Amino acid sequence: METLCKAERLTGKVLFDELMKNGNSIKAFPVRVVWMEKKFESDFPAKAAFTVPKKKFGKAVDRNKLKRRMREVYRKNKNTLYNSITDKKIILIFIYIATEITEYKTIEQAIKTTLTKIGSSK
């Protein structure tokens, strides 16, 4: 199922803070993924968030474009992650680290790589 509903989104300051403090990090340019195993009540095995720093992209239009691209790639490729983490639940945040807007293909390749690494770890 290729949807990204509200229940699959990571929300809440407490979870964000814990994830940034204790999470594992994987870099695949132009994306950095911070993730960790966490128990939560949901039908989905993963919750994700997407962020682009305001310091690097001052215009909201640019930040929104990049977040939209990351969400789309995750939405289309999350099944690889879901299939490999059947018995655990994880939370993850995708952080855009490049200083310029990159093409969809580049973002897609980076997120696919990180999802595969996360799925194969532990």
**Under 8 Å between Cβ of 31 and 74:** no
Residue 84 DSSP SS3: helix
Domain 7-120: assigned CATH number: 3.30.230.10
Low-confidence ranges of the chain (pLDDT < 50): none
DSSP assignment, residue 9?
B
Q: For residues 46 and 42, give the distance between their C-alpha atoms in angstroms, rounded to a whole number.
A: 9
Residue 62 DSSP SS3: helix
User: Residue 76: its pLDDT value, please?
Assistant: 96
Query: Can you give the residue ranges of every domain in the chain?
Result: 7-120
Ranges of H-type helices in 1-122 = 13-22, 60-84, 104-120
**Under 8 Å between Cβ of 91 and 39:** no
